[in-house]
């Protein structure tokens, strides 16, 4: 299981919305988007330019689209979606990793039983 939090991971994440945000983002960061059909070109820009990115998704269609555009991560906000997405990722041998947002590391043991690729602590809003 991947743990996308220090000290287990040194990857830096930056929430992004537009192409302009990408151009102003720090180098060596992994961009995070909220899925939007109108952002397909932005995801394609990331693919073409080898920019690592992940997308917060809610539907299977979104997973398929972002996976085809080389998203590094697909973030799920609940265990039920994560289990469905993981099954599809395994079935189609997707390179995109399924990451579940969690509230604390206490949830890791239960999540590991479902074979989810990884976890990331949910950010405070």
Q: What value does the mean pLDDT take over residues 5-31?
A: 93
Give the pLDDT confidence of 70-86 residue by residue, as tens digits: 999 999 999 999 999 99
How does the average pLDDT of the chain come out, rounded? Answer: 95
Three-state SS for the chain is CEECCCCCCCCEEEECCCHHHHHCCCCCEEEEEECCHHHHHHHHHHHHCCCCEEEECCCHHHHHHHHHCCCCEEEECCHHHHHHHHHHHHHCCCCCEEEEEECCHHHHHHHHCCCCCEEEECCCC
Residue 124's pLDDT band, with cuts at 50, 70 and 90, is confident
pLDDT tens for residues 86-108? 999 999 999 999 999 999 999 99
């Amino acid at each position: 299981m991947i743990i996308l939090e220090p000290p287990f991971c040194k990857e830096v994440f930056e929430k992004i919305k537009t192409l302009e945000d990408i151009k102003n983002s720090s180098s060596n960061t992994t961009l995070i988007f909220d899925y939007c059909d109108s952002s397909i070109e932005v995801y394609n820009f990331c693919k073409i330019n080898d920019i690592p990115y992940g997308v917060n998704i809610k539907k299977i269609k979104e997973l398929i689209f972002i996976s085809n555009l080389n998203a590094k991560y697909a973030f799920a906000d609940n265990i039920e979606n994560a289990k469905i997405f993981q099954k599809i990722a395994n079935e189609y041998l997707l390179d995109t990793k399924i990451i579940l947002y969690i509230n604390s590391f206490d949830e890791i043991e239960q999540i590991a039983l479902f074979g989810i690729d990884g976890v990331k602590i949910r950010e405070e809003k």
